[in-house]
Amino acid sequence: MSDFCFADLTPDTVLDALEELGMAIDSGLTALNSFENRVYQFRGELAGYPQIQRWVVKFYRPHRWSLQQLQEEHDFTRELLAADVPVVAPVSLDGQSVLPYAGGYFALFPSRGGRSLETDNEEQLAQLGRFLGRLHQVGKSKAFQYRPAFSVETHLQQSRQVLQQCPQIPSHMHTAFFTVLDQVIAEAANQYQPKALIRVHGDCHAGNLFTDQQGPFFVDLDDCRMGPAIQDLWMMLSGERSDQLLYLETMLEEYQQYCDFNPAELKLIEPLRAMRMTHYMAWLARRWDDPAFAMNFPWFATDKYWEQQTLVLKEQLFQLHQPPLSLQPGF
């Protein structure tokens, strides 16, 4: 397909794409919080889906995922839905859920309302643990063929190369920043040695989790990859180590009703945190030419941000040298 100019994706272009599908649109477009893709909510009617009145349309950023990788995400989502895992899945039109338009791809989802998950609510964490156990039960049934894995190469080494070329890092801070970054990368790479990789949500944090009267549900599997099971658990842990252990055990008590958990994966939490931190900085650097990023992340180009990141990396290096979390007997 020809290159899709993401910057030219105006609301009128989105409406044109929807109308070509036969969508009768009853409202304007409301932009949702997404920087990687372009996501809008609206009201409309579509033949074959009379039960859906509120929709979400997602236009995928070109060149991030291939058609095969997008299809694997959608197929995985439908597998989860078929296994009664509460996830918002894309709809299919004539058997196709990855929809082409103007050289790019988009997808339609039913809009499901809910409140943000409370990460310190034990009842909600227990429900989340149950659903993650079921998600991973499906996830380990087979592997992705096209989607990549969480790896030292993708999240640390490639990110390091991007940051080395990043003009937003002040030249007078290069020595301090890259000295500690290289130490973090070396230690995280040494510790990140997962024994088993399964299909995981990949970005399981409170911003991608909602709850309603039926309990928590998952949205946005855009970052699903092959990874260790702990990847979908560790971002829900916050506070002191005692709090983190309480939250983890609350989730695992329900999780292990559906899927076994290997406690050895607890030693992957801090390397995974280091990988996420490094990958996030590189993501901002990669996307800086997109006007939306300079507008919404102006602090990325300031000395203060890089001074803070240098300190954060020093703290992460300290954490990498601490003993990992350890479950109480019986888990």
Whether the Cβ atoms of residue 289 and residue 210 lie closer than 8 Å to each other: no
Quote the pLDDT of residue 195. 95
Quote the pLDDT of residue 4. 57
- For residues 165-187, one letter each, b for 16 or more C-beta atoms within 10 angstroms of the residue's C-beta and e for the rest, the string is ebebbeeeeeeebbebbeebbeb
CA angle, 117 then 123 then 129, to 5°: 75
pTM of the model: 0.93
Distance CA 26, CA 45 (A): 8
Helix (H, G, I), strand (E, B) or coil at 271: helix
pLDDT tops 50 at residue 1: no
Quote the pLDDT of residue 243. 92
Q: Can you read off the two tokens belonging to residue 20? A: 């070509």
pLDDT tops 80 at residue 143: yes
Tell me what percent of the residues of the chain surpass a pLDDT of 70: 98
Distance CA 155, CA 207 (A): 21
The mean pLDDT of the chain is: 93
Distance CA 113, CA 43 (A): 13
Give the model's confidence band at 5: pLDDT under 50 very low, under 70 low, under 90 confident, else very high: low
Q: What is the mean pLDDT of residues 30-54?
A: 93
Distance CA 95, CA 107 (A): 13
Whether the Cβ atoms of residue 24 and residue 43 lie closer than 8 Å to each other: no
Whether the Cβ atoms of residue 180 and residue 311 lie closer than 8 Å to each other: no
Give the model's confidence band at 2: pLDDT under 50 very low, under 70 low, under 90 confident, else very high: very low
Whether the Cβ atoms of residue 309 and residue 317 lie closer than 8 Å to each other: no
Quote the pLDDT of residue 76. 97
Quote the pLDDT of residue 207. 82
75 annotated as ligand-binding: no
pLDDT tops 90 at residue 206: no
Query: Each residue of 150-178: pLDDT tens digit?
Result: 999 999 999 999 999 999 999 999 999 99
What residues act catalytically? 203, 220
pLDDT tops 90 at residue 183: yes
Quote the pLDDT of residue 109. 96
Query: Each residue of 218-264: pLDDT tens digit?
Result: 888 999 999 999 999 999 998 899 999 999 999 999 999 999 999 99
Distance CA 233, CA 67 (A): 28
Q: What is the mean pLDDT of residues 48-75?
A: 95
37 annotated as ligand-binding: no
pLDDT tops 60 at residue 3: no
Give the model's confidence band at 211: pLDDT under 50 very low, under 70 low, under 90 confident, else very high: confident
Quote the pLDDT of residue 331. 67
Which residue is it, tokens 């920043």? 177
How many CB atoms sit inside 10 A of residue 101's CB? 18
Task: For helices 67-82 and 122-139, give the axis angle rounded to 10 degrees.
Answer: 120
Query: Each residue of 87-137: pLDDT tens digit?
Result: 999 999 999 999 999 889 999 999 988 888 888 888 989 999 999 999 999
Which residue is it, tokens 């002040």? 170
Distance CA 331, CA 249 (A): 8
pLDDT tops 80 at residue 6: no
